[in-house]
A and B are shown apart, each in its own frame.
Chain A
Amino acid sequence: MLDHYKQDYNKQRQQFVLIDQLGLVLEYTGILLPIKKGQNLKELHPFFESLDALLAMPNPEFSFYCVHLDLGTEDLIADIDMVRKKEGMLLVIHDLTEHYNSYQAVAQARNESIINEELIVLKNTELEERERFKNLFIQNFSHELRNPLMSSMAITQILSDTSLSSEQEQLLEVLRDSNTHLKLLLEDTLSISMIASGKLVMKNTLFNLHKMLDLLSFTYKTKAKAKGLQFTYKAAKQVPEYVEGDRLRLYQVLTNLLDNALKYTVKGSVSLTVGFNQQWANKVHLHFEVTDSGPGIPEDKQPTIFETFSQLASPDKQQGTGLGLALVKGLLALMDSTIVLHSATGKGSTFSFDLGLKVPLQSAMQQQIDIGSAATSRKMGSPGRKYKLLLVEDDERVLTVLFKMLMDSDQFYIDVLTDGGEVLETVIQNEYDLILMDINLPNTRGDHITRIIRDFPFKNVKQLPIIGMTAYAYEDHMQAYKEAGMNTVLAKPFDKEELLQNIFMLLHS
């Protein structure tokens, strides 16, 4: 009985076909292939047509695995053995359709996963390359803008110290505003690029949060008034006076949010609120909120407004780079915070974020405040004494304004060089109190000269204070110049006050 079952089973899954040298069916068993005695197998499927060459080969047998024999009605997937017999060629066809179909599903998942992974890697590489190119472009672009902006700012300042008619005063005010605006745009562009390239590092220092918020309140009350808007500022009484965090970046976040609110609000009010969430150990959690009564942001636009170069049309047609909110998002991410937007068309907007800031211990705080006061007191120049400075700068416009700034203070004798290759000899042959030197100098770079000076055997040269000036304002560049031995590095553009403060800080230390 079992033989009967076996025969029946095999009949369903196996077929034996004997063919001659021409491919004609001599005998067959089973029902897998719909064949007839005397039929040429080549007519059944192209697989058999390509066996001609094999029939002429001397090999005693061949095996083909996983052959898809599409016979019109159903797809048979079979292993096919071919064994040479004295009567002709015996074909044994094993139906393994079910087995191979399940294998197909596994192979499909495997291959798709490998291909997807590969495509993701490629996409990422492409995006990284684009990002790198973009950041390099921004870096160079920012560098090229810094020197002319430096000249423009300095000349504006020099002009303001001369006697001007009231009309000229007004024009100068416009120029000053434009300079400030341009400088802020430049800083924002650079910050965005630094965030994207992972070069921006938060600097935690102790600062007076109350003072910073008061300054913001004063500034934006004035700006709002000029636009006919109301400005309100509220801070919870638990907001600590001193905190540790990156003051510059928090200031940048808040000014961007406030500028944005003012820009889009035509009537009504803008407000800044600082709330207290909680304080755990030495960390305070604050809630910052900037609200405006502007036109609001349509829901469909909300997901994209934090992207770089994205901006809505402003009601007063003011231009912008579309960097502000992207910068806010990026800076807050670096501070482990997230910007939240609540807005609806016609109902104004509220941008808010929670921020954890360290509250320093009383003793550490007093120590740092003392250090700060001492530094501030050193910023003043000593009356009566004049210092000898070496000014090294190859950009003629920048050189002119720096020279004028320094001469106007009436505290310096100044030697000027425009070539890095001449600095060492000049320093050895003269006695200077300080060197003010550009980085990107012809022949020998400023940071390279600094390294040589710091390796010099004579103390009067070796310990000479050096202030570097650079239009490459990336933090890693600035750090590298300091590591080369520069005492301070100023990022262009800087103003007269910043320059003199830094000079006297070094001269009196």
Chain B
Amino acid sequence: MIDLLGYEFMQRALIAALVTGLAAPVIGTYLVQRRLALLGDGLGHVAVTGVALGLLTGIAPTWTAVVVAILGAVAIELIRDRGHTSGDLALALLFYGGLAGGVMITGLAGQTGATLQRYLFGSITSISLTDIWFTIGLAVVILGLGLGLMPQLFTVAQDQDFAKVAGLNVRAYNLLVAVLAAVTVTVAMRTVGLLLVSALMIVPVATSQQLARSFRATVTGAVVVGAGAGVGGLLVSAYLSQSYDLTVPPGSAIVLLALACFVATWPLGALLRRRQQRSTPFPDVAPDEHEVTAHHDHEHGPDCGHLAVPHGDHVDYVHDGHRHAPHGKHYDEH
């Protein structure tokens, strides 16, 4: 394992995985906040056409993919901005158009599916030094804008009407998020591949929001999960290929590792939400009549094992589907 890290291609791959894992969830958080989790997927499909155009024209596919993905993002955002009802459908049309166009142009370019596959499923271990600088540069832009403009982007994604009345240029900020998502897609293209790009943007967010109570905690958690899954997944796939001679594409290992994090945190999140709901105070409504609990041997107290829930000026104990409120020497049904 250690000697594997000595290879230059492996070091490059590790940097790419780390940087992508850091940047993708930041934009992903805004997409989830706006309930647009699938936008990244749509842009990934559109970028396939971009890659194919690169293969056809001989221009570096990374560049053509960036340009086409950004054009796609602008188109989606404009369509969403115009008519609200057709936004979902417009996204679907772009999905299919992008993928079919990409496959067709690749064919026209005389390339085999194998070439396209490098972009569809990633080829992190064959990243060149130029690609690394390109990846780092774009990731810095994504992180800088995504985190630096957090108050503005947060407000716009949270409540567009409010943001407009606060004087923010909502259309410009929405466009910025869409363009940053497009850039993220192309950055992550080499790491996990276009078909799995969206997973790296969304799954870490889904994981961290199981435990987070605030937006800031969600972003922080998502970045940690994203970077961890990026590096961890790459190491897992390298380890498997070296020790057991198994071919595991790093992209799939990264995404599955992120999903494993989600599966691990989900029960904890469900438990937390349940507990929070159970211990939410009862509304301050007095019971209709004074009803004394029948023969009650148990004495409720701070450590009695029954859930204590605030109710107005006193505490009710949840006991077998009843709410018992201490009253002198007996308990009342509340």
A, B in one complex: no
Chain B contacts to A: CB under 8 angstroms: none
Chain A contacts to B: CB under 8 angstroms: none
